[in-house]
Structure 1
């Protein structure tokens, strides 16, 4: 895999572009031909939740048409496109679906021009009526994700802790999802073993939920690598990635590796754990790894360990390989929150970038880094981190994907990053440093 993609060096715009709208002709024409609302909804479900058609005005885009039943005169249906809608939440009008009515059939429908390389979590939010101040503050906006609806059909559905449902939309030219989905033409891969527990951390001062995943071939071949990943709650349930690691290991693309995940039991403690906490390294070495080591013999060589995470987890991974290379000398840094700890969540570089800028050698450190094209100021800050890490001597594999601050994208990157950093057995040997 070539994970290094050339990218512009100029500062990106703070906000991603608002998608261009067009008439939802698929829905309008179907009703005009005599189809009922139920017929249209059934067809949408059959094609996977949304129609995807060429965009005659932009060859590198696709027209994505979504539909939902219209039930009440005072309701509005909004298409949430992660992260685009979030960054434009102060004005949701560009994302409100049209009303299409014909001879008693009533539907919400919208057609959006989106890049053909896009992968995004999308959902429908139905409000009665739509509050124009819904996105005025983060506090008012966050709860909307607990009452969203997925697109129709049997596509992959993500469910939040509060019960909100969303769908993963992958357009035709999105980055390949290696091993994420099972190939129905191949025999099923044996599932690995997942151990779950809780550590009442003496070092961090609060409890964390923990998981240890071992692929099926680990018992026979032994464990050749360790991945220490944050946000285990999301990666084991809402947007699960462990089956992909089973498939990658069975195919020989990834060495048998223990994936050890952690998440604060109270979400309010997440910033305390991941916000450049110097105690995090001690938690990993003295509490988490000994717990995981009770299930299998784990490598102690930091060159066979990877720390990884997204957002604040990406910041923590960057901090760990800089601060504690004795723990791990490989990092997966996804959409790192390099503004931290700016209380305004603004575009100013934060403390981590200043520390990397301050000198010191990162020779022997390997980093797989990615960030979404639609991530506003984070895109520029992650570009800056890449330059600083390379300047310090780290070997960085870097890419920008078409998407946002989104676990649907990060799951793909975690699989690709582990393969890049730990290697596989299909070629006969694990990855080694050049």
Structure 2
């Protein structure tokens, strides 16, 4: 145990109100740089019911993105410190790691089911157990940064290790929850006759330009727009990087994916969705905040299924979407069995794996064009690294310009929020700031 964490955990007053007060002032999790450059992270949780004599809590599971394993029959739990109300666990991580985490305290009878010889049935029972305890997930009250909501509604805390990529543009939201400048934000409703559904759209514009320059302002279409509008609001970060000169004044369309069922319909390579967006939404939004029609000034950005969708849009409508920002794109689609194969494989990697979009690209079935692409994936995303690497190779062989990177982390919106701003700046770098 490193010296700083040992001083806390071996202190004679550990678990007393004074000890917790001092720990809250110091902030948690505790982070200690080791001699090899890695960081020892000490996660700490206070049992509200006290020590084991008075508390029903038998486990406090640590759900740390890309670090703890959801598939393990015995998920990682913190350990109780003696007879105190202190629960703790330590992990050693690369200094450039970033990720979301939560604690899941459970009582007797709420621990995972024991596996048996039927592997498939055991996995299904384990998955159902995870879903059953997710509503117990809590953010870390000792973490001073703003908590935020996961896709299933649980509260998450952010953890940024000291060498993680810069996300300083997010400081106003992290420290004070600052949202959009209301003078720049308009929420509209897109009633699509083509798709037969209606959804929310957030139209946001940044920077100050003269009236005559509005039509040249670049455009970014952000998929899963409800994430960037409500769960991890991107507006103040966009304003900050525009103020710094890292981004040009621009118009942003945040497109709500509505729910899981509609997301699975619209985002995996759905031509009708993109045709409707071009014929219906773009003209409607342009009445509020005019923007350029030039493909080299237009970015379509997405994560996971959205990363797949963004690439599909660029490859099939390069005359409108000349820049693609894809983060952890689900390029395995539609070969869902890849995940099962990877789980059974040593290291959960399957080099050379690909899906429909890369196969079409490699065969020459996509329209000609020259896209500018920013593509990233987390180094801990297992087979997702392989399908993204296959996609990168196919793009480069087809003559597209690709900026590709691995980040130290997982399938995590906390990581993607930094890559989103980095990708916007990379793709718009040739533009002079208006």
Class of the TM-score when normalised by the shorter of the 2 chains? 0.7 to 0.9
Q: Corresponding residue for 1:131? A: 111
Question: Is the counterpart of residue 420 in structure 1 residue 429 in structure 2?
Answer: no
Shifted more, 213-222 versus 312-321: the winner is 213-222
C-alpha contact (below 8 Å) 2:331/2:354 kept by paired residues: yes
1:73-84 correspondence to structure 2 within 5 Å: 73-84=56-67
- Look up the match of 2:393: 387
Instruction: Give the SS at the match of 2:71.
Output: coil
- Deviations for 1:319-357, whole angstroms, at most 9, x for unmatched residues? 111111122110001101011112335255221111111
In the TM superposition, residue 316 of structure 1 has moved relative to its aligned partner by 0.5
**Is the 1:227–1:305 contact (alpha carbons within 8 Å) kept by the matching residues of 2?**
yes
Match of 2:321 among 315, 325, 328: 328
Question: Given the alignment, which residue of 406, 414, 419 partners 1:400?
Answer: 406
**1:23 deviation in Å?**
12
* Distance (Å, rounded) in 2 between the aligned partners of 1:421 and 1:397: 9
Is 1:165 paired with 2:142?
no
Once residues 408 and 253 of structure 1 are traced to their aligned partners in structure 2, the CA distance between those partners, rounded to angstroms, is 20
TM-score by length of 1: 0.84
Relative distance call for 1:285 and 1:98 in structure 2 (3 A) is same
Matches of residues 13-412 of structure 1 in structure 2 within 5 Å? 25-30=6-11, 32=12, 34-56=13-35, 59-70=36-47, 71=49, 72-85=55-68, 88-91=69-72, 93=74, 95-102=76-83, 105-129=84-108, 130-133=110-113, 136-137=123-124, 138-142=127-131, 144-151=133-140, 152-160=142-150, 163-182=153-172, 191=181, 193-217=184-208, 222=214, 224-344=217-337, 346=339, 348-359=353-364, 363-412=369-418
Q: State the match for 1:15 in structure 2.
A: none
Query: Partners of 1:232 and 1:26 in 2: how far apart?
Result: 45
Residue aligned with 1:101, SS: coil
Counterparts of 2:331 and 2:299, CA distance in 1: 20
**1:161–1:218: structure 2 CA closer, same or farther, 3 Å change rule?**
farther
What's the counterpart of residue 16 of structure 1? none
Q: What is the TM-score normalised by the length of structure 2?
A: 0.84
- Distance in 2 (CA, whole Å) between partners of 1:163 and 1:285 is 32
Assess if the C-alpha contact under 8 Å between 1:120 and 1:406 holds in 2.
Answer: yes
Equivalent pair of 1:147/1:163 in contact (CA under 8 Å): no
Greater RCO, 1 or 2 (C-alpha within 8 Å, sep 6+): 1
Which 10-residue stretch deviates more, 343-352 or 382-391? 343-352
Counterpart CA distance in 1 for 2:67 and 2:15 is 32
